[in-house]
Structure 1
Amino acid sequence: MKMGAGLKLHLVLFYAFLYVPILVLMALSFNRAGLPTVWTGFSLEWYGKLFTADPIIKAARNTLIVAVISTVLATVIGTALAVGVETRRKSSALDAVLFAPMIIPDIVLAIALLSFYSFLNVTLGLHSIILSHVVFNIAFVVAVVRTRMRNFDHSILEASADLGASEFTTFRRVLLPAIAPGVIAGALLSFTLSVDEFIIAFFTAGPGSSSTTLPMQIYAMIRFGVTPEINAMATIVMLVSFTLVLVAQRADKEVFTR
């Protein structure tokens, strides 16, 4: 079915509204003057200053630590949950519990996690942010991996069991390779969400810069105005996020093509 002219115009306006501000921000990160109103020439000066700023480098390192560890934990736990749920009797109540973190507003989840840590007298820091991101990301991993599990031939698991393989061997040699594209896509999505996440990290971080992540650092800097360094930092974060999303989508396509 051909797309009408009105629908095409609506689509163009939608994408323009969505991406033109991002493109403008990226362009300003290369503006020599550093002003949002005057273009004085192309320059990489702001990127050079960005990579020599200790608070930004430290915040980026904290973000990578949180993202990598939380992604590994969320992927392992989420994959195990997806396998367990899909191989058991279907339950809408269980599905609602699993996917609740995806639906609950971030601010509500952040307050709940902070209250939970306070109740247990847990000292806040990078470890509390990591655990919070694991809770937030598990649902996304489960959703992606379950999609993959619903699109492959389950009879190969029965064949493996009939040939005498144990449950662990069947999982390691048969099931895991079959759902690997979904696991990879879920991990990349989890990493992207963790890198970009601000509200939960802000509420569950400890005092001082030792647990400041990159989004928190950007927020602290932007309160005094948008500077060229912030534009450069936002450009890098967006490029990394877009790249990971594209890789995740490509891996996710394997869910339906393999």
Structure 2
Amino acid sequence: MTNEAADTMSISDYLAQGGKLSSPENVPPRYRAELLRLMSSFVDSELAGSAGFADAINWAPGIKERIAASRITLEKADHAERVLDLMVEFGTDKALYNSAHDWAARMPRDADVEARRQGGDMRLSVFHHPLENWNDAVILNVLMGQATVTQLRELEQCSYAPLAEVVRDIIPREQRHMELGLEGLARLTEVESRLPDLRKAIDYWQPRVALTFGRDGSDRFDRLAAMGLRRTANEALRTQWQDALDRQLATVAL
């Protein structure tokens, strides 16, 4: 449906029937608030993920791994900028936004971080935890990489057409990031003595990545679904992620 079609019915009915919005001028206030929150969470998480992964470049055990870590660091920052450019159309100050937080900042390793925003920082809670070494970086890249792809495939169906279009461009690169992680993990598991440390890293990161899908039975999901910004419930997305992850880890004896 087109924006003109929305003129003949309420905006809520239009969105409930699969309508798409294409510019800030067509967006009602409550929809605008939820859309900006979704985009902020993505931008903040990509900036924090990029900044946190930058250290992994110098932990990389070889040139191939160093190139992969550099690519992931660069492309995540680029993804953040693409979505931030959409937020600029709603009046966001891009320069101010970029300097709003220390994107490399992390909490203590054993901190109990709630799955909610910390002040104005909208990054997913997993990005408040620090990486310790190359094993850690590879495991998080695999686990969070699959979570990101799962969550973006949901977002590419959203009712705000410009965001859906950007997300469709981003998904193949995020998919490749996860594949690079799997390639790195396969090389690590060739040395049997590393397996206990890798399993320990999985035990640390897996529940923290699971939190990024949000609470089961979330009232907010119902609001977003009514606006066409979400389709699949949190618990269903988490199950999709876990099933895909189980298959991937099985290929490398983990």
Q: Decide: shared fold, TM above 0.5.
A: no
Q: What TM-score results when the alignment is normalised by the length of structure 1?
A: 0.27
Which structure shows the bigger proportion of residues in helix conformation? Answer: 1
Question: Which protein has the larger Cα radius of gyration, Structure 1 or Structure 2?
Answer: 1
Q: What TM-score results when the alignment is normalised by the length of structure 2?
A: 0.28
RCO higher in structure (CA 8 A, sep ≥6)? 1
